[in-house]
Structure formats: structure tokens, C-alpha cells
Amino acid sequence: MRSDWMRECAMETDNHTVSSNSGAIALGPVGRIPPGEGRCFKIGARQAAVFRQRDGAVFALQARCPHQGGPLADGLIGAGAVVCPLHGRRFRLSDGAGVDNELAARSYPVEVRGATIFIRGLEQP
Amino acid sequence: MMAENMINGGKEKLVVIGTGMAAGRAVEEITNRAPGRFEIAMYGAEPHTIYNRILLSEVLAGTKSPESVFLYSTQWFERRGVTLASGARVEAIDRAQKTIALEGGGQASYNKLIIATGSLPMVPPIENINTPGVFVFRTINDCQLIAAYARRCRRAAVVGGGLLGIEAARGLLEHGLEITVVEVMPYPMAQQLDPESGAMLARRLESIGLKFLFEKATQRVLGSGRVRGLRFKDDTAIDTDMVVISCGIRPNVRLAVDAGLAVERGIVCDDRLLTSDPDIYSVGECVEHRGRTYGLVAPLFEQARVLADHITGANPEAAYGGSRISTRLKVMGVDLVSVGDAREGPGAVVTRYAEPHRGVYKKLVVRGGKLAGAILLGEVDCAAAVIAAYENDAAAPPRHADLLFGAGGGADTADALPMEAAVCTCHQVSKRVVVERIAAGCKLPQLCAETRAGTGCGGCRPQLEALIAKYGGAGRDPAADYYVKSVPLAKPELIAEIRRRGLRSVSAVIRELGGGLDDPASKPGLASLLRTVWRDRYEDERDARFINDRVHANIQNDGTFSVVPRIYGGVTSPGQLRRIAEVAEKYGVRMVKITGGQRIDLLGVKREDLPAVWRDLGMPSGHAYTKALRTCKTCVGQEFCRYGVGDSTALGIAIERRFQGVETPHKMKLAVSGCARNCAESTVKDVGVVAVPGGWQIHVGGAAGLRVRAADLLATVSTQEEALTIIGRFIQYYRENARYAERSPAFVERIGIQRLRALLIEDCEGQAQRLDREIQAEIENYRDPWTEGRQPHDPMQFRGEVQA
Ligand code: SRM
Ligand SMILES: Cc1cc2nc3c(=O)[nH]c(=O)nc-3n(C[C@H](O)[C@H](O)[C@H](O)COP(=O)(O)OP(=O)(O)OC[C@H]3O[C@@H](n4cnc5c(N)ncnc54)[C@H](O)[C@@H]3O)c2cc1C
Ligand code: SF4
Ligand code: FES
């Protein structure tokens, strides 16, 4: 799933078509997220939890846990998942699927170009 | 045949009427066997999703929330392609058109239909029964109505002393009502018990606060506008403010009758659960099979399996042969299991054992060499073996009492059970399956989740625990000894490897010893261990910490944090209180609360405000968010108290100053009391000190949390200094030897207090001085984590939301 998006993005970059009208939003420098952690980004009234694995891979999920609204960005990550800090439910970083539970978080395509994080698909609130 | 059922090339439509436990299980079994085969629509009259009705007594008692008994999540339905309409009552079935009509309009067509309408409470003909204040007990809604009404009442009467009546009565006790159970028979649970065991059960239930009126047939509800009392056929009466009717159930068959299906007491079904219409199945309490109806879940689950095998074609040979049933009364503190038919009479060989002084009664009825029924009251350790013998229809042992006491005398449930016998009778989970999962490392919650055992009535949980104790022991599952899950080493070996290889960061340990698997649940434990091993030479990767330990505050349910400053020994000052008050106002703290640990909690602080709050407070962290020394509670002691024999506040403050910030495998709570009256509750603390004339007693391993445990006496010393030394030595030994997240009670039990005394007081291994040195070094290394408010570890540490 993720690799499809990477391919798409690569194409877009090649064509220099990435701009606000392609829907990609710049979230600022990747250094805003300490390695291995997540942060909640606000874009106007929209928000997303963006994670940066120690290996450099970046992922984005809905900001609030589908269980009871816990702040996913504050969760521990590892083994490709984030653990919600409130009640410990796990969600896969790549697609938001619940690892040990039936719930699922929305995931958004993200990418780092240069040192900037771009996100796409954030729906209007 | 399938082709003709297809509509517009789409899937076959399966409609299910009812959203009870039978309907849920049938759909689950069907979608397990043939995912995506049917387009499934469920219609349920209740406003809730499918839930575990068995647990309603606990919902009524208020010990469980309605949500906690829901059986499937919304996602579960979505994934299985099942639509569920709640609050949708089906009005009629049109078999010719193959449609159903909903109350209030709307209809749906089906290729196959399942009727799972369950049963309705039986309400006997009692005059004036419609008076407000009379309830039945069947649904979540009933529980809510009863609980709401009970608030205005002092007394309640439960009409019907059967299994459910007793559970309802027990639940109502929790609402502080005076409860009278009214029963026509001369003793409770007459369907299952005999007079002798019935009388014993009544005595037992009276001892927990229920009252009984036997041989009373209720004739009339008294009161107009609301219930005032009950009058009986013998012209006696009682006063009561509300009434719960629990007189049994009757299959809910109206839809089937109207549709012209064969119906006797229930909807008549064959061994495939087919009704008299080949496209209509039925399952659950509404079914009559071979002349019998059932009122328990185990038979419904068996029916659901056969129905699914048949409707999906997974096993067209599947046949339901009827069920053998046993019941268990789910009232805390009362053990009662009834199996089969324990009535006496011609041909019955009866074995009876009674110990009235302990309230124990056991009876076996054997017919034709096989167990036909049993009653076990007051002691049910042999229940699983008895149930197994009954369900397997096995020949009874020559000495019938062996079933009750085992061939060698004194049966251990877990042991006595044959491997193929069901441990969980609700879900029919065999001992073999349970033991296999335990051998694979399952602990209780996982075992329940994976096998479903224990998730019905919950009555088999003690047996599951016994099996875990037996089969989950060390040696069988080395993982139980691992310090954290993802690194296959016990703590001493792990520490040795970390030292030998000089691993200073969590990533390094994961890479070299954990096969590269960065299991998030294991990281905080590794971080804690590395800090203990390397102290300030540890390479601090903040992402290995739980959020609380990244920001030094406790996360709340809304994502804000709580701030608990240290108040040494619970002794504060006007100046401190004034500052706390000012901070609370300045930062709009949502609640200021005196904690159970004798200090003050500022709740609802935003992440970005934490540094400023700490700065303005000017007090050090109380470590209320982490695995470290928490508090040292004290009582006023000698300084003021007329009984005090030791200066408890002074020692408490000294303890907290000395050990503040010391990180431990789990949190540690301490206390010092000034005399044996123990006002600081020292004997339920991880370390608790009690002043005695001429010295101090030091207790360790106490708890008053999830489990209550009185602490063990480690030593009695004569001076404060000695007390501080012994406490420090214990803390360091605990730091080095406890598993991650092992609280002191479990640790003390594991090592044994004798051994701890030998090691720490008698110094049998010559470790004492080293332990004293290690803890001293740790104390000197103390740094208030809240100073990071001024010098953050990284610039983003206290940033909550980031603007893009
Ligand atoms: C604030 C306080 C309740 C209060 O308002 O009084 C409290 C609040 C919490 N307790 Fe507690 N406990 C508080 C005193 C206690 C006590 C009583 C005591 O300390 O004297 C106990 C029983 C004693 C014991 O610990 O054995 C207690 C037994 C627990 C337990 C069960 C521990 C156990 O293993 O049995 C937990 C759960 C856990 O640690 O896993 C817990 C967990 C929690 C947590 C941390 C739950 C969490 O992870 O969010 C609560 C944090 C709320 C917050 O955000 O501030 N709390 N908790 C008390 C803080 C005392 C303090 O000043 O530090
Ligand atoms: C308090 C309590 C404790 C119990 N304890 C135990 C126990 O310890 N062990 C045990 O094995 N069993 C126990 N039982 C019994 C067990 O709960 C039942 O056997 C089981 O729930 C029956 O399931 P069912 O699906 O057949 O019927 P139900 O659970 O009655 O479900 C039928 C559903 O169909 C709906 N319905 C009916 N008509 C229509 C219609 N026309 N249109 C739409 N929907 C309709 C009803 O609203 C209901 O939700 C207990 C029951 C209660 C009430
Ligand atoms: S008892 Fe403790 S853990 Fe439970 S709600 Fe109260 S503070 Fe929270
Ligand atoms: S809010 Fe995320 S697990 Fe409960």
C-alpha cells in the first residue's frame, strides 16, 4: 500500500507537479519529530498524528485513537505499530489497521522530500 | 441450486430476526465457514447491539457497564459484511413473497431466514400487574429501568426464587435495598435442588442479606399509582416499594405462529435446525427440538454450529442431537452447580454427602450405571469432573463417591478432568485446548480471548487459573522468566550480556540481543534496566519511554496531564499551599485534588504549560507518573499524638528526601506510622515503617491495590539511620532482582521473606555492603526531572500540537 504511494509520489516529483492543488500539504521539517516518536500536526482545523521511525520511514494516522480518542502521536511505536497511550490498543503505522483489536485508524500518505514532510488526503473536518 | 437463489447475480440474502446471543453466534459461525457467501442483515428489537445476556445480573448490580457486555464491535460486523439494525422489530414474515416486514414500515427480502427471537419473561396472572414499579428482568433496558427506580425505594420483592430470581435479588442488594424473595415452593431453585440442599441454600443466601418467603403464591400487586405491597393467596401480605417478576421464560414464537410454521411450545425444528419451511431456520431459546426447549447458552451455541454447518453446506451431515445441561448459580460467595436431573425415584441410585456446619451438600444420582444428575453446593471443586462424566454419558465409577472425591480422595478439579472434557461449559472448550494454549504461553486474559473459555458465565475461571498454575509453570514456558517479552533472557543473564557487550541504548539491546524486533511493549522495561545498569552513562533514547516518562507527568483521558509536586512526608506549609493555589488559578487547572498519597494533584494541565507550571511551583517532581519512589505517607506521630512512640513525620521526610527519584521495577509507596495503631497504613505499603518503643519495625511487600496483602516484617531496628540503611538495601535488591513491572508483594512472595532476611539482615552472601554502595551512588545521581522544563531534552519535548 505504502509502496504504491511512494511510486506515485516519485512520479509526481519527477514532473514537479506537487503543489497545493495536488492535495499534498507541507508539514515542515522532519526534525520536528524526534526520532522514533510521533507528533500531532494541526493544519487549520485538520490534524494528523505523524510518526518518524528510527529507520527514517514516516507515517501518518488520524490524530485521535478510534477507541476513546487517545492522542496517538503520544504513543510508543515499534514493530511497525503505534501503541495508544491510553489503553494500549495497537494500530499498524502503514495502514492504521488494528493489530490486536477490531478497530482501525485512518491512515494518510506521507513522504519526506528534501527535509520536508508532505501529507496528502487529509479530509476537511 | 445456488444459482436460482441469486438475485441479480448478487449474493444470497440471509436475514436474521433477533440479535440475541444465539443469533450472534449463528452469524459468527456462518461467516467463519463461508466469509462473503451471504449478504447478511440482522434485525433486533432491542436498542443495543448483541450482548452477553448472562452477565446482566452484574449490570443490574452496577458492577459492569452495559457497554462492557457487548459481544462484537462495529468493525466486526463491517468486516464480516453483516448489517445490524438495532431497535428494529420484525412485525411479520411473508413466506410466499419471502420477505419480512418491519414495525413502523419497511421490509426486506430473503433467500434464507433465521428466526432467533429467544424468549420472553413469563408473567403469571397476578392482579394489578401493570402498576408502576413492577418489572421483569431480561434486557439491558430492564436493568436500567430497575436501577433507576430502585433509587427511590427502600424495599423490593422478587417474585420467583429460581436461578434468575436469586441473581436478580443479589444484584438489587447492591442498590442498598431490603430484598424479599417470594417463592411458591418450600425452598429456592426447586427445579434444580432437593429439599435438603434447598434449605441449605436458603440459609446461605439469608446470611448474605436476602430474605425469603416460601410457599407464597402471589395474587395481587397492592397500591395504585405505584407499588405499595404484595398480597398472597393465603391472604397474607407484605409491604414493598417495587417488584421484580422472575418466574421463568416462554419461547417467543409469535412471528412463527403467524407465519404458519409448526409451533408447539417452541418453534419445531429438526436436527438441522430447519423449521417446517425449508428456507427458514431457527436457533436459540425459541427452538423446540425433539420436544425440548432450552434456557442456557451452551445448547444454543451447539445449535448455532450445526445450523452454520448446514446452511453453508460446510457439513451437510451435521446433526444436532440435543444437549445435556448443567447450571451454575452466579452469586458471589455461593457455590452451586446443578447437573442434569437429580430427582430421586425408582431406578435412581443416590449418593449423598453433607456437612451442614460448612454448608456443603453433594448428591449424585446414577441411573442405569450412568450419572443422571448431581447437586453440588458449598464446595464445587469436583464440578468439572462431574459435569464431564455427565456430558460424556460415561459409565459411573464402581464407587460413585470417586466422582466427588477422586479415586485417591480429595479431587483437584483441574487434575481430575479428562483431557477431552469441557472446562468451559458455556463455550464447550476442552481441557486439551486450554492446556495447549497455556503451554504456548497464554496468561488468563489472552487465554480467554483466544479460546473464549471463561467469557460466558465466568464460572470456570478458577479452573482456568488452576490449569495455568499447573501447566504454565516455569520450565514449561521459559518466556515467563524473560525480563521483557522480546529479549529471550532472564534478568540476571540480560544484565550480564548488557555489561559484557557494553550495550548502552535500547536500540543497541534490541539489535544485539532481541533479534532486531523493536516490540514497543518491551522498550520501557529495557530503558529502565539500562538506567539501573549504567546510571548516567546510559544513552537516553526518549522514544523508548512511555509518554509519561517523556514529559514527566501523567497522561489523562483527554490527553492533558496531571502534576503532582513532591510534598515530603505529606507535610506542607502555608507558603507552598499559596503557590500551588496561584499556579492552579494561573494555568486554569481543571481540578485540584488531595490524593490518596497525602499530596496535591493539579489535573488537566496542557503539555506545553508543564515547564511553566513546574517553574512557578518551585517544587520538585513527585514522580506520580512513573516507576519510582512515589510517596512516603506519615501520621502526625510523637510530635503531637498522645500515643506516638516515634517521630514518624521526621523519618517519613528523611525517607522521601533520601530516596526521591530512585527508579524501581515498579512504583514504590512507603509509609511511616508513629505507633502500632498504624494510622499511615504502613503494613499495606511496599515498605512500611512502624514505630515501636525503642525503635522501628520495617515491613516489606504490602499492598492495597488490585490485591490486598499485609507486609512481612523484615527487621526491627533501633535508630532512624539504621532504618534508612535497611530500606535502601531492600530497594536496591528489589531494583536488581525484580522483573519489570513486578510490584514488591509479588517480589517478596517470590523470593520469600526468610531468604530476604538472610540476605539483607544477616548478610549471608556478603552482598549488603555492595547493595548499600549501589543505592548511595544512585541517590547521589538524583536530578529532579522537572529541571528539564528549563533545559528540554529536545526542543520538541513539551510541544503538544505542531502547527503545519
Ligand atoms: C492520584 C491518585 C488517586 C487520588 O486522587 O488520590 C492515583 C491515581 C492513579 N493511580 Fe493509583 N492513585 C493514587 C493512589 C493510589 C493508592 C493509595 C496510596 O498510594 O496510598 C493505591 C493503592 C496502593 C498501591 O499502589 O498498592 C493505588 C493503586 C493503583 C494501582 C494498582 C496497583 C497495584 O498493582 O495493585 C494502579 C494501576 C497500576 O499501577 O498499574 C494505579 C494507577 C493510577 C493511575 C496512575 C492510572 C494511570 O495510569 O493513569 C492514576 C493516575 C491519575 C492521574 O493522572 O493523576 N493506582 N493508587 C493517588 C495518587 C497518590 C499520590 O499522591 O501519588
Ligand atoms: C440475567 C440472566 C442470567 C443468565 N445466566 C445464564 C447463565 O449463567 N448461563 C447460561 O447458559 N445462560 C444464562 N442465561 C440465559 C441466556 O442468556 C439465554 O439462554 C440466551 O441469552 C438466549 O439467547 P437467544 O438468542 O436464544 O435469545 P435472546 O437473548 O432472548 O435474544 C432474542 C432477541 O431477539 C429479539 N427479538 C425478539 N422478537 C423480535 C422481533 N420480532 N423482531 C426483532 N427482534 C426480536 C429480542 O429483542 C432479543 O434481543 C441468563 C439469562 C438472563 C436473563
Ligand atoms: S482508582 Fe485510581 S486508577 Fe482507578 S479511577 Fe481512581 S485514580 Fe484512576
Ligand atoms: S483511547 Fe486509544 S486505546 Fe483507548
- Mean pLDDT in residue range A97-108: 91
For each of the domains in chain A, give its residue range(s) and CATH number, in order of start: 3-119 (2.102.10.10)
Strands B336-340 and B348-355: unpaired
Residue of B nearest to A63 (CA): B801
Which ligand places an atom closest to the C-alpha of B601? Answer: 1
The pLDDT value given to residue B657: 97
Q: Contacts for B439-445 with beta carbons within 8 Å, 24 or more apart?
A: B439/B471, B439/B472, B439/B476, B439/B477, B440/B477, B441/B472, B441/B477, B441/B479, B441/B480, B442/B472, B443/B468, B443/B472, B444/B468
State what percent of residues in chain A have pLDDT above 70: 80
Which of B519, B802, B803 is the mutation pick for testing A, counting most A CBs within 10 A?
B802
- Mean pLDDT in residue range B390-397: 84
Q: Tell me, in angstroms, the distance from the centre of ligand 1 to residue B505's CA.
A: 30
State what percent of residues in chain B have pLDDT above 70: 97
Task: Compute the mean pLDDT over every residue in chain B, rounded to the nearest whole number.
Answer: 91
CA distance readout (Å), B521 to B554, B626, B628, B739, B755: 18, 15, 18, 14, 32
CB atoms within 10 A of CB B473: 11
State yes or no: ipTM above 0.85: no
Burial (CB count <10 Å: 0-12, 13-18, 19+), residue B479: exposed
Residue length of chain B: 804
Instruction: Find the Cα–Cα–Cα–Cα dihedral B647, B649, B654, B660, rounded to 10°.
Output: 150
CA B125 – CA B86 distance, rounded (Å): 31
The helix, strand and coil proportions of chain A, stated in percent and rounded to the nearest 5, come to: 20, 40, 45
CA B43 – CA B113 distance, rounded (Å): 11
Joined together, the cell numbers standing for residue A5 give 504511494
The pLDDT value given to residue B408: 41
Give SS3 for B703: strand
Strands B348-355 and A76-78: unpaired
Summarize pLDDT for B200-237 with one digit per residue, the tens: 999 999 988 899 999 999 999 999 899 999 999 999 99
pLDDT: is B381 or B149 the higher one? Answer: B149
Give SS3 for B69: helix
Summarize pLDDT for B449-470 with one digit per residue, the tens: 888 888 888 778 878 888 887 7
Burial (CB count <10 Å: 0-12, 13-18, 19+), residue B44: buried
> Could you say which DSSP state residue B310 is in?
H
- Mean pLDDT in residue range B239-264: 96
- Mean pLDDT in residue range B360-388: 89
CB atoms within 10 A of CB B671: 32
- Mean pLDDT in residue range B732-748: 92
- Mean pLDDT in residue range B306-317: 94
Interface check for B71 against chain A (CB to CB < 8 A): the answer is: no
The pLDDT value given to residue B163: 92
**Which residue is associated with the grid cell 526542543?**
B795
- The alpha helices in B712-783, defined as continuous H runs, are 720-737, 744-751, 753-756, 768-780
The pLDDT value given to residue B343: 87
Tell me if B535 sits within 8 A of B777, measured CB to CB: yes
> Would the CB atoms of B555 and A86 count as touching at under 8 Å?
yes
CA distance readout (Å), B237 to B162, B339, B365: 21, 36, 39
Q: Tell me, in angstroms, the distance from the centre of ligand 4 to residue B714's CA.
A: 41
The pLDDT value given to residue B718: 93
Residue of A nearest to B803 (CA): A42
The pLDDT value given to residue B139: 97
Give the one of A25, A39, A102 whose C-beta lies nearest to B73's C-beta: A102
> Would the CB atoms of A41 and B541 count as touching at under 8 Å?
no
Question: B320 CB contacts (<8 Å, ≥6 apart)?
Answer: B271, B272, B273, B289, B302, B303, B306
Is the CB of B743 inside a 6 Å radius of any atom of ligand 1?
Answer: yes
Which helix (H) or strand (E) element contains residue B31?
Answer: helix B21-33
Which ligand places an atom closest to the C-alpha of B741? Answer: 1
The pLDDT value given to residue B446: 84
Joined together, the cell numbers standing for residue B129 give 400487574
Which helix (H) or strand (E) element contains residue B136?
Answer: strand B134-136
* B72, B254, B297, B324, best to mutate for ligand 2 pocket (most atoms within 8 Å of CB): B297
- Mean pLDDT in residue range A13-28: 58
Residue of B nearest to A36 (CA): B543
- Mean pLDDT in residue range B141-161: 95
Summarize pLDDT for B494-512 with one digit per residue, the tens: 999 999 999 999 999 999 9
Given a cut of 70, whether residue B480 has pLDDT beyond it is: no
Interface check for B520 against chain A (CB to CB < 8 A): the answer is: yes
Tell me if B522 sits within 8 A of B486, measured CB to CB: yes
The pLDDT value given to residue A34: 93
**Which residue is associated with the grid cell 417467543?**
B252
> Would the CB atoms of B520 and A42 count as touching at under 8 Å?
no
The type of residue at B494 is: L
B748 — pLDDT class (breaks 50, 70, 90): very high
Render B434-481 in DSSP notation, one character per residue. HHHHHHTT--HHHHHHHH-TTSSS-TTHHHHHHHHHHHSSTTT-GGGG
Find, among B211, B214, B243, the residue nearest to B226 by Cα: B243
Q: Tell me, in angstroms, the distance from the centre of ligand 1 to residue B509's CA.
A: 31
For each of the domains in chain B, give its residue range(s) and CATH number, in order of start: 2-119+251-311 (3.50.50.60), 134-247 (3.50.50.60), 324-412 (3.30.390.30), 416-461 (no CATH), 480-545 (no CATH), 546-621+791-804 (3.90.480.10), 628-783 (3.30.413.10)
CA B714 – CA B99 distance, rounded (Å): 75
The pLDDT value given to residue B478: 64
The pLDDT value given to residue B415: 66
A124 — pLDDT class (breaks 50, 70, 90): low
Given a cut of 90, whether residue A64 has pLDDT beyond it is: yes
The pLDDT value given to residue B614: 97
The pLDDT value given to residue B344: 86
Given a cut of 60, whether residue B407 has pLDDT beyond it is: no
> Which runs of E-coded beta strand occur in B275-329?
280-282, 287-289, 326-328
The pLDDT value given to residue B457: 82
B70 DSSP β-pair partners: B51
Given a cut of 70, whether residue B654 has pLDDT beyond it is: yes
**Which residue is associated with the grid cell 483441574?**
B414
Residue of B nearest to A49 (CA): B801
How many CA atoms, within 13 angstroms, populate the side-chain half-sphere of residue B670? 32
B416 — pLDDT class (breaks 50, 70, 90): low
CA B521 – CA B526 distance, rounded (Å): 10
Least reliable range by pLDDT among B207-221, B241-255, B378-392, B783-797: B378-392
The pLDDT value given to residue B477: 56
The pLDDT value given to residue B442: 82
Q: Tell me, in angstroms, the distance from the centre of ligand 4 to residue B557's CA.
A: 9
Chain A closest CA to B518's CA: distance in Å? 5
The type of residue at B609 is: D
